[in-house]
A and B are shown apart, each in its own frame.
Chain A
Amino acid sequence: MTGLPLHRRVVLGAMAATAVMSQARAAAPIRLGVLRTVSPAPFYIAQSRSLFAAQGVDVEFKFFQAAQPIAAAAVAGDIDVGVTALTGGFFALAGKGELQVIGGGLHETKGFNLTAVLVSRQAYDAGLTSLDKLGGHSFGITQFGSSFHYMLGQLASAQKFDLKSMALRPLQQVPNMVAAVRSGQVDATMAIASMARPLDAAGEARIIGWVGDYVPYQITALFATAPMIATRADDLRKFCRAYQAGIAAYRAAFLRFDAAGKPIYDGSTDAAIADITKYIFAGDPEAATKIKAGIGWYDVGGALDVADVKAQLAWFASEGMVKGPIDPDGIIDTRFLPTR
């Protein structure tokens, strides 16, 4: 055992300790880090309908304001699993062997208008009316290496404009991005439907396209910490089964379409919305509309799009935002959920 790296030894030690304490620890809840948005809806449904309890695991939600802190909290040992966008920071932390991507989440896909490209009125009037003209303009993002930065990079290669010619403005928070495009301080930015549509309707900004129509993208993925996988793989399997049941309920509620491609909403939809509003938009009279605006594609069984994860890692590495060689297979663990 002398040849093992230190963290491996720690993990093995922890495994031994867990084996001893397994009786006592059986009740330890799995701490799940999520954003307080619609995107983790299958988890809300699973929790609300006691699907985790049915599998014999206790799940505790930990809510975060941004994707990056979820990964940091996992490394710090404050959560065991998380659902988040795979940002540059996530890959840097995962590359150190702390985090493993284990399953798929929400997808940007054609037909689901999740993320809009929003252009200021001035820029629109000056001719920025389609995505291929974004080159040379200023663009508000939260941070370098964020999912917005990645989506813009993907749009640039799909629409053949030069990302390097753009002035990227890190504005830290989504409200700042929306404010900056409203006041014309940046030419364009991205915003989710529930924020972008009212601005477009009021003429304060213009939507020139939806990201999912041009660049299909696995926005969120499920990850687990290395100690969780090493010491509580059985609990994690149970957790994943409940997640799959949550996805089945989510798909039944939101992802059925008629011949014209319109979503079919019925009693199961209302039931799911009632489950989701226990965690977000509680007491908001517009909750149902807001939740429907945030609905996106979930694969059957929470399948992980492995190729997409690799493509994301490759892009961050090519942009110099992830340093050092990171083996994509080393940060993906496909033993818990199916792959696409």
Chain B
Amino acid sequence: MQEVKFRGGGFAPRPIPFAGALTLLLIVAAWQGAASLGWISTRFLPAPLAIIRALVTLVQSGELRLHLAASLSRLAYGWAIGTLAGLIVGFALGLFSLARTPGLAIVSALFPVPKIALVPLFVVWFGIGEGSKLVTLGFGVFFPTVINTLAGVDGVPRNLIRMGQSFGLSRAAILAKIVLPGALPAILAGFRITTATAIILLVAAEMIGADYGIGAFVLSAGNLYDTDALLAGITILSLLGLAISWLIGRLERWLLAWR
């Protein structure tokens, strides 16, 4: 008789602490090295040190604080508006037959519309002030939230719901104790996408009429071909994305501790 070897294991990637940061650092170091040695022309691709110098200038002049304050408040409000509306609509589509098909048709029709193309319209409708910027961000966040929420609600095992019903739980209790926790992983995964979407749309939102904001700063630096400042702004956007992604990771660990 042939011995059957143990074939389980694998398919379970573990996080290696610091490997992510180390990878990024190594890439930046290699880039700086290549630039210092003259392998990469720094005329149109500034070296990391030049970008860091531009960042330091931004911090010292106090400009960064103004840009960040403007952008963070837009991100917070715009994302919150889009997420709240998206959650409400997503749950409605997931729970009510009457909302589902018509709602899905509308979402499918509007989701692929490039939000940047709508910015001029938003400007006419909501003005060049904060209104059009929040709407641009909220609109971009809304659709992925709807789709993820809907998928989350659909993914809740029906037998758990049936079990709750046979135990005589009220509709509200089933929603709060079974559907919401069951949909939460998908919703939180959606947050990762929507926060990134909001950061991407920040540049579009701040295209029209913004004095301050990281997006406006990046656009202005691009127009002036100030490549150091341009990449400094992009670095800030990237760091912002990392910070928010880390926050969502903490949120997931806290909210999904029951898993």
In-complex Cβ contact of A171 among B38, B208, B225 (8 A) = B208
Judge if B189 is at the interface, Cβ distance under 8 Å: no
Interface 1/0 per residue, B215-259 and A, CB below 8 Å = 010011001111011000000000000000000000000000000
CA A92 – CA B207 in complex, angstroms? 21
Judge if A252 is at the interface, Cβ distance under 8 Å: no
Judge if A323 is at the interface, Cβ distance under 8 Å: yes
Write the chain A residue with the least CB distance to B210: A170
User: Residues of A contacting B216 with CB < 8 Å?
Assistant: 170
Write the chain A residue with the least CB distance to B54: A323
CA A7 – CA B43 in complex, angstroms? 10
Judge if B103 is at the interface, Cβ distance under 8 Å: no
Residues of A283-340 contacting chain B, CB below 8 A = 321-323
Inter-chain contact A179/B124, CB cutoff 8 Å: yes
CA A19 – CA B223 in complex, angstroms? 37
Interface 1/0 per residue, B105-136 and A, CB below 8 Å = 00000000000000010011001110000000
Inter-chain contact A143/B41, CB cutoff 8 Å: no
Report A47 CB to chain B, min CB distance, Å. 30
Inter-chain contact B225/A170, CB cutoff 8 Å: no
Report B188 CB to chain A, min CB distance, Å. 36
Judge if B209 is at the interface, Cβ distance under 8 Å: yes
Inter-chain contact B225/A89, CB cutoff 8 Å: yes
User: Residues of A contacting B211 with CB < 8 Å?
Assistant: 167-169
Report A314 CB to chain B, min CB distance, Å. 16
Inter-chain contact A145/B223, CB cutoff 8 Å: yes
User: Residues of B contacting A183 with CB < 8 Å?
Assistant: 124
Write the chain A residue with the least CB distance to B216: A170
Inter-chain contact B128/A89, CB cutoff 8 Å: no
Residues of A179-214 contacting chain B, CB below 8 A = 179-180, 183, 185-186
User: Residues of A contacting B208 with CB < 8 Å?
Assistant: 169-172, 176
Chain A residues with CB under 8 Å of chain B are 6-7, 68, 72, 75, 87-89, 92-93, 96, 143-146, 167-172, 176, 179-180, 183, 185-186, 321-323
In-complex Cβ contact of B224 among A7, A172, A176, A321 (8 A) = A321
CA A7 – CA B44 in complex, angstroms? 13
Report B71 CB to chain A, min CB distance, Å. 15
User: Residues of B contacting A322 with CB < 8 Å?
Assistant: 224
Write the chain B residue with the least CB distance to A179: B124
In-complex Cβ contact of A93 among B209, B219, B225 (8 A) = B225
User: Residues of B contacting A88 with CB < 8 Å?
Assistant: 223-225
Show 11 A/B contacts (Cβ-Cβ < 8 Å), sorted by A: A88-B224, A89-B223, A92-B226, A143-B220, A145-B220, A170-B219, A176-B208, A180-B123, A185-B209, A186-B128, A322-B224
CA A93 – CA B225 in complex, angstroms? 7
CA A146 – CA B43 in complex, angstroms? 22
User: Residues of B contacting A96 with CB < 8 Å?
Assistant: 43-44
Report B42 CB to chain A, min CB distance, Å. 10
Known: A6-B41, A176-B123. A92 touches B225 (CB 8 A): yes
CA A145 – CA B225 in complex, angstroms? 10
Interface 1/0 per residue, B181-212 and A, CB below 8 Å = 00000000000000000000000000111110
Report B36 CB to chain A, min CB distance, Å. 15
In-complex Cβ contact of A144 among B124, B129, B207, B220 (8 A) = B220
CA A323 – CA B53 in complex, angstroms? 13
Write the chain A residue with the least CB distance to B123: A176
Write the chain B residue with the least CB distance to A146: B223
Report A212 CB to chain B, min CB distance, Å. 25
Inter-chain contact A169/B223, CB cutoff 8 Å: no
CA A87 – CA B220 in complex, angstroms? 12
User: Residues of A contacting B207 with CB < 8 Å?
Assistant: 170, 172
Extra A-B contacts (13), CB below 8 Å, given A6-B38, A143-B219, A321-B224: A7-B43, A87-B223, A89-B224, A143-B220, A144-B220, A145-B220, A146-B223, A167-B211, A170-B207, A172-B208, A176-B123, A180-B123, A186-B128
Report B204 CB to chain A, min CB distance, Å. 11
User: Residues of B contacting A179 with CB < 8 Å?
Assistant: 123-124
Write the chain B residue with the least CB distance to A68: B223
Report A226 CB to chain B, min CB distance, Å. 12
CA A186 – CA B226 in complex, angstroms? 27
Inter-chain contact B224/A144, CB cutoff 8 Å: yes
CA A274 – CA B54 in complex, angstroms? 52
CA A170 – CA B224 in complex, angstroms? 13
CA A194 – CA B187 in complex, angstroms? 53
User: Residues of B contacting A68 with CB < 8 Å?
Assistant: 223
Inter-chain contact B224/A92, CB cutoff 8 Å: yes
Inter-chain contact B220/A170, CB cutoff 8 Å: yes
User: Residues of B contacting A87 with CB < 8 Å?
Assistant: 223
In-complex Cβ contact of B223 among A143, A176, A186 (8 A) = A143
Report A170 CB to chain B, min CB distance, Å. 7
Report A72 CB to chain B, min CB distance, Å. 8
Write the chain B residue with the least CB distance to A96: B43
Inter-chain contact B224/A180, CB cutoff 8 Å: no
CA A322 – CA B66 in complex, angstroms? 21
User: Residues of B contacting A145 with CB < 8 Å?
Assistant: 220, 223-224
Report A244 CB to chain B, min CB distance, Å. 31
